[in-house]
Structure 1
């Protein structure tokens, strides 16, 4: 049984007058924060405030770069060249790193957002471009991936991968996530999410929609900050992990 797991959440996705999530209350219970960098969500004020709050609550910070798609929240397919993907990722990491520097907090990881992440599961050219953009900033950054070509591209460069699982998402038998456009793709029952999260970590495996078992190294579990009641959910997850004697720590500690 795994004794440690990272609990991460996508956050800092509000911008201007538009608010998403309950970031401050979520930050009290997680160990790593994936902070939006302005392309799919976030703005300079939100980025700075999120990093500052992460430091207050002792939470590690990572960049959450996405497609330049505020209207679609980064969840739509975009046809970008490898050079566009590489430079867009580098640009977004650099923006967040500026706020990390301001608040004297190290940048721990990079987790691609939404469809940028999903497409990189199968598209090796895109995966290589994303990894190149991350390496351009620093090859020491952890790359969060849920497998596929993104993980393989990172490992081919000798970079460390934090393998991620989603307790609130259904999986296809090939290890990809069921499309959000399909009914039931997002699990909204808190009891099921909590039970599933603990079982994933204990078993080192994921159960797909057809009942098949996907053996999988799980370093970090994601909770989506835009899920209704996310703050209460992460609090319940933390209690459940404590009862199962699973310690929540930043992913860098697990991969050190």
Structure 2
């Protein structure tokens, strides 16, 4: 894993023609409270600073093109990244074309990267609990038309920080009793949810065994990650994937 202060590389056995990264919060030009590598235009940061940060990331990662940014809406909607010209209302994108950069932005929600074993198909998924509940991962695999994939779970809120109401747990356990494993009682009708476990359970139900990553906590690791739950006025990291 890359130790650079501006990005980290997924630790997964992706094919040699597949490249991926998650940006961190350091090394950019945004001022407080967005310091410093904020990549989101919708959070109140200065547009010029965000544009500079996006240019920096493109150069830093040697991206083959401009990332296909989405207008994320906590949905189950998946789009073909090659057809996205403007920010598209969706929470995942996929492609089978070289030179297309799939991207999602997060600051506590779970970024999920997917690549086929042959390196021909890739996808990036924004998986908050609402998206996971709606089946965003399954929809993405259906759009990719393959389940022969590798999956990486990027930086998200940790299980010790993700407090939810009983209604969230009930919504998941109504789908399957197996989701009980992802919740721990906290008292007063509140539960601690493990978003990584929620994703792994969905992936297991889809027959996906090769799952990597997890173990981060965007709330606790303040120096590396933006966190909306910790700091309501804050920036966003990007998780990107592309292929040659």
TM range (shorter): 0.3 to 0.5
Q: Report the structure, 1 or 2, having the larger helix content.
A: 1
Q: Report the structure, 1 or 2, having the larger strand content.
A: 2
Which TM-score applies when normalising by structure 1?
0.36
